[in-house]
């Protein structure tokens, strides 16, 4: 379990730092590796169900949770930026292609205001 947690921490730290520094990153590959490691962690945690959780593992899990929360916040920030850029591009394309056939001055039913 400790090895899996270390691997997840490393992956999350690398991704978070790449996002923070705007470095090139293969998000699909990173996401696949994180998903696999988190699946392994879940399986390891099931093996511990019903038992007393070692304090060192509990501390590491809390630390991992914090890292995952920071990673999620950074991913959310980048997702919002992508949405904004996509909106700007879509608006630009729409404005470029608009030929004035439909006017904002038309009311419901096509009657002019």
Q: Map 17-86 to HEC letters.
A: HHHHHCCCCCHHHHHHHHHHHHHHHHHHHHHHCCCCCCHHHHHHHHHHHHHHHHHHHHHHHHHHHHHHHH
102: phi then psi, degrees, rounded to nearest 5: -110, 135
Q: Residue 113 has what pLDDT?
A: 44
CB–CB of 16/67 below 8 Å? yes
Answering whether pTM is above 0.85, one says no
Average pLDDT over residues 3-9: 91
- The answer on pLDDT for 4 being more than 70 is yes
CB–CB of 38/12 below 8 Å? no
Q: Residue 103 has what pLDDT?
A: 54
Q: What is the pLDDT of residues 7-61, one digit of tens each?
A: 999 999 999 999 999 999 898 999 999 899 989 988 988 887 777 778 888 899 9
């Amino acid at each position: 379990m400790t090895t899996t947690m270390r691997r997840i921490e490393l992956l999350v730290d690398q991704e978070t730092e790449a996002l923070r520094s705007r470095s090139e990153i293969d998000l699909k590959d990173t996401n696949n590796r994180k998903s696999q490691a988190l699946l392994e962690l879940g399986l390891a945690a099931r093996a511990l169900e019903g038992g007393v959780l070692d304090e060192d593992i509990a501390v590491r899990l809390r630390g991992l949770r914090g890292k995952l929360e920071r990673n999620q916040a950074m991913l959310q920030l980048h997702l919002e930026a992508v949405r904004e850029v996509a909106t700007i591009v879509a608006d630009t394309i729409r404005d470029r292609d608009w030929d004035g056939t439909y006017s904002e001055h038309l009311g419901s039913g096509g009657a002019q205001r």
